Chains A and B, each alone.
Chain A
């Protein structure tokens, strides 16, 4: 079946612009995670959704970052006033249930802020 889909695969934007990154999880997966990965580093947790609600957003670096999942399926990560330090691969993952379930990752969105 279809895996986790992330769009766009690449995004180049200018410093100060607004970007939206989209994640379409595996059908039926209730949990959805956003991670950020810089070159040579492990995935850094940003936010976790259980259904429509953000169960844990402790990883969002500041108030420029916001994520939504209005219908409990597709999620959008929104970044305002982008900075060069936001450049990274943004990974989305979904899992079947909450807790102790394997994460299924998408291919990521590579964000470059110039």
Chain B
């Protein structure tokens, strides 16, 4: 079945440093979504990418979908303590199948 891998598994950064997590799929994707899960919380939707090569920004967060639609990345500029949590990508392989497969996640901790 479809596999969605994320690297790194963990990332510890000093407050103010940048952070990037990468998401890779074994199959070509219809679209990809990103979620954030705070410690003890549930996943919360951040954004969806649909088009090949698409780039979207939300304040300090930049999301990118690969040209081949098999990978994606999330980059956070100048991290803040509020960015702490686990970031998941979630992939949909084709439009006919609504199953959303979540990646393994990257857990971000911030050193104040």
| Chain A interface residues toward B at CB < 8 A | 31, 33, 35, 41-45, 48, 50, 55-56, 58-59, 91, 93, 98-100, 102-108
Residue interface bits B62-95, CB-to-A below 8 A is 1, else 0: 0000000000000000000000000010101001
Pick the residue among A43, A44, A48 that contacts B43 (CB under 8 A): A43
Interface centre among A43, A50, A59, A93 (most CB of B within 10 A): A43
Interface centre among B95, B98, B103, B105 (most CB of A within 10 A): B98
B89 nearest CB across to chain A (Å): 9
Given A42-B103, A43-B43, A105-B42, are A100 and B48 neighbors across the interface (CB < 8 Å)?
A: yes
For chain B, give the interface size range: 20 to 34
Chain B residues positioned under 8 Å from A58 (CB to CB)? 1, 99
Bound complex: CA of A31 vs CA of B104, how far in Å? 24
| Chain B interface residues toward A at CB < 8 A | 1, 30-31, 33, 35, 41-45, 48, 50, 88, 90, 92, 95, 97-105
Chain A residues positioned under 8 Å from B41 (CB to CB)? 107
Chain A residues positioned under 8 Å from B100 (CB to CB)? 33, 45, 103
A99 nearest CB across to chain B (Å): 5
Q: List 19 A-B contacts (CB under 8 A).
A: A33-B100, A42-B88, A42-B105, A45-B99, A45-B101, A48-B99, A50-B98, A56-B97, A56-B99, A91-B43, A93-B43, A99-B92, A100-B48, A102-B33, A103-B35, A104-B45, A105-B44, A106-B42, A107-B42
**Cβ A102 vs Cβ B45 within 8 A:** yes
Chain B residues positioned under 8 Å from A98 (CB to CB)? 98
Known contacts A50-B98, A103-B43; can you find 8 more A-B pairs with CB under 8 A? Answer: A42-B88, A43-B88, A45-B99, A45-B101, A58-B1, A59-B99, A103-B90, A104-B45
Chain B residues positioned under 8 Å from A31 (CB to CB)? 98
Bound complex: CA of A42 vs CA of B43, how far in Å? 10
Residue of A nearest to B99 (CB): A56
B51 nearest CB across to chain A (Å): 12
B42 nearest CB across to chain A (Å): 4
Bound complex: CA of A44 vs CA of B88, how far in Å? 12
